[in-house]
């Protein structure tokens, strides 16, 4: 089935979003969760079921690759059929790509342990947080990345502030582009923002080859087209 934006994973029908959450039974695991979305046919898929295969794809790729370009890691993982056009798996993918690239560039970091922590934290950011919480999970993922990198806790000093500034910086860049949401666009923006922050704050350069070009336009019914900085014919500079 196509990964087109807004398509139900079970039947392909468009999704319907509600301004207030309501109890819904997952059509896959049959557990009940509060949710703001189901498809026009009434199917609801919980975040855990939605992202299960995608998280496996992220883990397998990141633990095996020697790639140093975090955008290249993003794009290669995004090509896996288990990574849908939109979904909470991106809340893990952004931080995982950054941790993997950082490890491959510096040789530092216990990557398996760091990825495990990234998965545990990133999975807690629900789908739709961008619209319902006002904080895109891709942006939050950069703050998680920075926290893991610096071993920050709620009782830390300078690094506590740095982690919050990292998230804020990513959300600012994401918000300036505007909506509707696009997990691909937001992920690219978050990673590029973190790459710049790493160079400015730590002097660590993660290589990014040339301008970022998105190839997922046809899968996103709400694509901004030329207003997206990653569109091949974009009309605005990249973040």
Dump pLDDT digits (tens) for 143-152. 999 999 999 9
* Lowest pLDDT segment from 40-49, 112-121, 156-165: 40-49
Phi, psi angles (nearest 5°) of residue 20: -125, 140
Mean of pLDDT over the chain: 92
Q: What is the mean pLDDT of residues 14-23?
A: 86
Residue 199 has pLDDT above 60, yes or no: yes
Range 190-213 average pLDDT: 96
Residue 80: helix, strand or coil by DSSP? coil
Instruction: Give the pLDDT of residue 2.
Output: 32
Q: pTM to 2 decimals?
A: 0.86
Question: Is residue 6 pLDDT above 80, yes or no?
Answer: no
Residues 6 or more apart whose Cβ sits within 8 Å of residue 36: 17, 18, 19, 20, 21, 22, 128, 132
Per the CB < 8 A criterion, the answer to whether 11 and 2 are in contact is: no
Give per-residue pLDDT as tens, 106-119. Answer: 999 999 999 999 99
pLDDT band at 235 (very low <50, low <70, confident <90, very high): low
Residue 61 DSSP class:
H
């Amino acid at each position: 089935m196509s990964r087109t934006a807004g398509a139900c994973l079970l039947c392909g029908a468009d999704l319907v979003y509600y301004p207030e959450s309501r109890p819904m039974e997952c059509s896959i695991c049959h557990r009940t969760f509060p949710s703001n979305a189901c498809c026009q046919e009434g199917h609801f898929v919980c975040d855990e079921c939605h992202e299960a295969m995608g998280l496996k794809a992220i883990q397998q790729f990141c633990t095996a690759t020697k790639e140093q370009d975090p955008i290249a890691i993003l794009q290669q993982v995004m090509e896996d059929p288990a990574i849908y056009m939109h979904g909470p798996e991106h809340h893990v993918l952004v931080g995982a790509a950054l941790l993997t690239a950082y490890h491959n560039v510096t040789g530092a970091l216990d990557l398996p342990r760091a990825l495990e922590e990234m998965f545990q934290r990133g999975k807690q950011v629900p789908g739709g947080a961008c619209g319902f919480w006002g904080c895109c999970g891709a942006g939050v993922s950069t703050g998680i990345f920075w926290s893991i990198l610096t071993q920050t806790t709620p009782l830390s000093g300078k690094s506590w502030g740095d982690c919050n500034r990292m998230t804020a910086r990513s959300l600012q860049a994401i918000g300036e582009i505007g909506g509707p949401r696009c997990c691909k666009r937001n992920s690219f923006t978050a990673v590029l923002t973190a790459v710049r922050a790493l160079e400015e704050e730590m002097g660590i350069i993660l290589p990014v080859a040339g301008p970022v070009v998105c190839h997922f336009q046809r899968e996103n019914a709400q694509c901004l087209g030329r207003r997206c900085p990653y569109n091949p014919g974009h009309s605005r500079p990249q973040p």
